Each structure stands twice: as structure tokens, then as C-alpha cells.
Amino acid sequence: MDSVYVKRNKAGRINIKAGNKVNSVINTTVISLTLLTVIAFLLFDYTGLDIGRAVVETASNLKTMFLQPAFSHFTWREGLYQLGVTISLAVLATILGAIIAFFLALWSAVNLSNRWVSKAIKIFVAFIRAVPTVLWVLIFAIAAGLGSEAAILGMLFHSVAYLVKAFSEAFEEVDKGMLEALKSTGAGWWQTVTHAVIPSTSTYLLSWTFLRFEINFSVAVAMGAAAGAGGIGFELFMASGFYFDLREVGFITYAILLVAIVLEMMSTKLKQRYFPSAVK
């Protein structure tokens, strides 16, 4: 709800103005970004660019990609295998990341840990999140070499940092009265976690883990080409960069989109089965 500012002017009249500082900051930010975008487009070098021809060719390419999808450089069996490789990379990075992040998040939550330990972990994971996943993959590639190992390590590193923040914030929202009641009965730290924290945050943990899995799947597609991790991303890279086969690019894009839809359906079904009260 907007706050109301009351101010008396020199004449003694009272001016009432509705609004809040948050809305002002948001509006200023949106206007600034819009102006910067317009200025950037005005400063582009359009030398040699034929807008009409570019629009026609882009439309033709999109038509070929999405209305005439086909594959010619791999079979159905090879395609399913490569898709499975990409999903496996995402699953492995997500499961390991969620397990590690769960315990780090317990130490990171201010209501469950020492304040200094909490701050140290939060600063450390914030630094990790600030570096894009692809850079972590390339960093690990120096030690492990290009391939699936570097891709998994880079995705795992970023997944842990991402989930620590998400999990710890969920833990910090647990009712303080519940925690104090358990402590007053003599419950230990781990008993408090298992009997209060986990039951109260299970829905959030599942949601954040599946969200990170969807992100890792997208990253695994990109890492298939950037880090030589293989999978459907490598096939997409070859189709677009070497074969210039737009029909195959469209087919692979549809396959990736289908997997993303299936993952979303799985997430919803799991919530309905195990946490029906969280799904309206």
C-alpha cells in the first residue's frame, strides 16, 4: 500500500501526496533504461545495413527453422542419446549442488547459525554468483580440460551459490516461535532442523531445486558447445556453425523446448503429489 506524505506549505495549507520512495526509484530506473536504450539504437553504426532486406531474410530463416524442422546429420537414436547426455549433466550438477547447498544454507541462515559464520558464507557465495557459469566452466577447464568434467564442476559451483541463497532465505522465514518452543523442550540443533525447519520449507526447497535444474539444463545446452561437454548443445553448435542447416537448428530447438515443458510439468506434478496445499 502506498504511503501518504503530509507537508505544510508557507501559507499554512497542508499538501497531501500519495506514493512511496520505492515506486519513485523503480520509475526513475525504468525511464533511465528506456532512454539509454533509445540512445544506444541511435548511436549504432547502420552503414551498409539494408533494413528491408534484413527483415525479409530473417523472416525467411525463421520460417525455415520453425515451420520446416528436420534433421540430417544424426539419427533419432543419436539425438535421444545426446539429449540424455545434456539432461544427465543438469541432473548431476543439480543433485550434488542441492545437497551441498542444503548444509551450507543451514550455517548461512542467521536464525540457525552464528552471525559471523552466516555473513562469511553469504559473502563467499555472493562472489561465486557474481561470476557467470561459463567463466567458472572455463576456469575449471584449465585444470580438468574441456569436457563434461569441467562443465559439471562449473555448473555445480554456481548451483551451490545460487541454492545457498535461496535455501537460507527460506530457512530464515521459519516461525521464530516454533524454533524457540523446540529449544525450550530441550531439542538439539539437528532436531530443530529436522522437526521444524525442513517440514516448514520443503515446498520452497523443492521449487528452488527444480528451478535450478531448469537453469542447469539450459546452461548444459550452452556448455555442450562452449566447453566441449557434448550433448544436444554440441549438435546445435554444429548445425548452426558448421553445417548451416537451419532446419536442423529448428528441430533441435523444438526438442529443447519440449524437454523444458516436460520439466515444468514434472515440477507441478511433484508439488501436487507431495505438497498439495502449496498448489492452488
List, in order of start, the domains of the chain with CATH numbers.
4-65 (no CATH), 73-278 (1.10.3720.10)
Q: How many H helices and E strands in the chain? A: 11, 2
Say what percent of the chain tops pLDDT 90.
24
Q: Strand, coil or helix: what is 48?
A: coil
For 54-74, what is each residue's pLDDT tens digit?
889 889 888 888 888 888 888
- How far is the C-alpha of 183 from the C-alpha of 203, rounded, in Å? 24
For residue 148, give the nearest of 226, 95, 251, 67 by alpha carbon: 226
For residue 179, give the nearest of 166, 165, 198, 164 by alpha carbon: 198
Q: For residue 197, what is the DSSP state?
A: I
Residue 241 has pLDDT above 60, yes or no: yes
Q: What grid cell was written down for 123? A: 559473502
Residue 9 has pLDDT above 60, yes or no: no
Q: Strand, coil or helix: what is 6?
A: strand
Please give the pLDDT value at position 106.
Answer: 92
DSSP letters spanning 161-185: HHHHHHHHHHHHTS-HHHHHHHHHT
Please give the pLDDT value at position 147.
Answer: 75
For 116-162, what is each residue's pLDDT tens digit?
999 999 999 999 998 888 888 888 888 777 777 888 888 998 999 99
Average pLDDT over residues 39-65: 85
Please give the pLDDT value at position 12.
Answer: 52
Please give the pLDDT value at position 21.
Answer: 72
- How far is the C-alpha of 75 from the C-alpha of 35, rounded, in Å? 49
Beta bridge partners of 7: 15
Question: At 243, is the pLDDT very low, low, confident or very high (cuts 50, 70, 90)?
Answer: confident
- What's the predicted TM-score (pTM) here? 0.76
Residue 81 φ then ψ, to 5°: -65, -45
- How far is the C-alpha of 167 from the C-alpha of 121, rounded, in Å? 13
Please give the pLDDT value at position 1.
Answer: 44
For 171-187, what is each residue's pLDDT tens digit?
998 888 888 888 888 87
Q: Going along the chain, which residue ranges are E strands?
A: 4-8, 14-18
Q: For residue 13, what is the DSSP state?
A: P
